[in-house]
């Protein structure tokens, strides 16, 4: 029996202390504790959460613009990375010039990429890997934020159910024994999929995919096996140093290994890691820290398996976000007035009728596509 093993990681964004160590030439110590994991796999796919560039202009978007040095692709090569997943909400932060520069850096290290391109057809292109007579198609898609392409413009592949279905079917028809869908999406800092995301991931399996691997929330989520196929909702962060999140779930990640044999069987296992916490290193969790996180995972898996409980937990999460969400649709602009409104010290200027109209504009597909077209025109 022959088989192929593929390693998957969460978000890789080599900035801050990691970048400083790279410049100083001492960066290999970051990965020494987990290097053997990557060496043991036939293929490794890492989520590249930023462009590797010092070129390009910041695109119009909300949230931070991320990028790392072009030369830091050397770190990926050191980890025996074969492919990077680039469909995410930061890869296009510095526009077409930024992704072009990144592609050049990856080529220099003999690393391929998937999930982005200079138009939607390139971005949605399936990548095939093969060893020991086992061929696997890999598709990478992301939730539509500021970096996705929907036509002739460059960017990342969006979550498009119809395109995903056709891509999965085409991969199988072309000879792939297995198809893996990598999805960048979810709610940041929330360790569960929403009911929509659970349905979306199961749809990919129903459409013919053999595994779904997720990231974006920056924390580890649970997993399930649906119709014999593994769905991992979030692998957390792999290498993403961010000063504001020391000693938190931000600093935990999951290294996932999927094994595919030539008889149609899939095995899955993982290792839990700590990343860039008090020191800029990545290492396997051990002892009480590992036991505690394993217990958390078991609890998350139980919730994922219960539709009613999953819905309840998501509504509780939405309730916590209510002040933030409502503040974003009010006309308050500076931090001081926004903070006062969140605390209920300034009134809602947008009344009930306006909120009702906003609700239907966001919910109705036809209204929403017109609203998006109008906003896009006004922005650009």
Q: What is the pLDDT of residue 380?
A: 67
CB 3 within 8 A of CB 252: no
| Superfamily (CATH) of domain 3-305 | Metallo-dependent phosphatases (3.60.21.10)
Cα atoms in the 13 Å half-sphere on the side-chain side of 83: 25
* pLDDT for res 85: 98
Closest CA to 127 of 76, 79, 179, 185: 179
Of all helices (H) and strands (E), which one includes residue 185? none
CB neighbour list of residue 214: distance below 8 Å, 6 or more residues apart: 182, 183, 184, 185, 186, 193, 197, 201, 221, 231, 232, 233, 234, 235
**Tokens encoding 273:** 């890691």
pTM for the full model? 0.93
**What was the pLDDT predicted at 345?**
82
Ordered DSSP codes for 70-112: GGGHHHHHHTT--EEE--SSSTTTTHHHHHHHHHHHHHHTT-E
The CATH 3.60.21.10 domain(s) of the chain lie at 3-305
Q: Are 252 and 221 in contact (CB under 8 A)?
A: no
Query: Which portions of the chain are predicted below pLDDT 50?
Result: none
Cα–Cα dist 345/225, whole Å: 47
> Are the C-beta atoms of 159 and 183 separated by less than 8 Å?
yes
Exposure b/e, 318-356, CB count within 10 A at least 16 = b: eeeeeeeeebeebebeeeeebeebbeeebeeeeeeeeee
82 CB burial (10 A radius; 0-12, 13-18, 19+): buried
């Amino acid at each position: 029996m022959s088989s192929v093993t593929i390693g998957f990681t969460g978000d890789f964004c080599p900035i801050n202390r990691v970048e400083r160590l790279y410049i100083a030439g001492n960066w290999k110590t970051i990965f020494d504790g987990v290097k053997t994991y990557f060496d043991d796999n036939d293929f490794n796919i890492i989520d590249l959460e930023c462009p590797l560039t010092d070129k390009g202009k910041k695109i119009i978007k909300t949230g931070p613009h991320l990028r790392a040095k072009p030369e830091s692709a050397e770190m990926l090569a050191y980890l025996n990375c074969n492919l990077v997943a680039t469909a995410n909400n930061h890869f296009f932060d510095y526009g077409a010039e930024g992704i072009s520069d990144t592609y050049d850096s990856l080529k220099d290290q003999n690393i391929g990429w998937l999930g982005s391109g200079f138009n939607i057809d390139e971005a949605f292109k399936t990548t095939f890997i093969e060893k020991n007579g086992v061929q696997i198609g890999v598709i990478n898609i992301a939730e539509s934020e500021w970096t996705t392409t929907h036509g002739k413009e460059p960017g990342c592949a969006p979550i498009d159910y119809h395109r995903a279905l056709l891509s999965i079917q085409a991969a199988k028809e072309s000879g792939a024994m297995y198809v893996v869908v990598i999805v960048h999406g979810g709610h940041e800092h929330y360790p569960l999929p929403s009911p929509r995301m659970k349905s979306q991931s199961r749809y990919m399996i129903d459409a013919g995919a053999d595994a779904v691997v997720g990231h974006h929330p920056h924390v580890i989520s649970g997993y399930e096996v649906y119709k014999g196929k593994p769905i991992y909702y979030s692998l957390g962060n792999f290498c993403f140093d961010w000063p504001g999140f020391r000693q938190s779930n931000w600093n935990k990640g999951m290294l996932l290994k999927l094994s595919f044999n030539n008889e149609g069987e899939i095995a899955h296992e993982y290792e839990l890691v700590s990343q860039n916490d008090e020191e800029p290193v990545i290492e396997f969790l051990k002892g009480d820290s590992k036991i505690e996180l394993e217990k958390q995972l078991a609890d998350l898996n139980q919730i994922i398996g219960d539709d009613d409980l999953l819905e309840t937990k998501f509504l509780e999460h939405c309730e916590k976000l209510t002040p933030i969400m409502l503040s974003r649709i009010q006309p308050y602009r500076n931090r001081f007035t926004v903070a006062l409104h969140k605390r209920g010290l300034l009134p809602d200027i947008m009344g009930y009728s306006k909120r009702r109209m906003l609700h239907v504009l966001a919910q109705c597909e036809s209204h929403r596509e017109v609203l998006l077209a109008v906003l896009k025109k006004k922005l650009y």
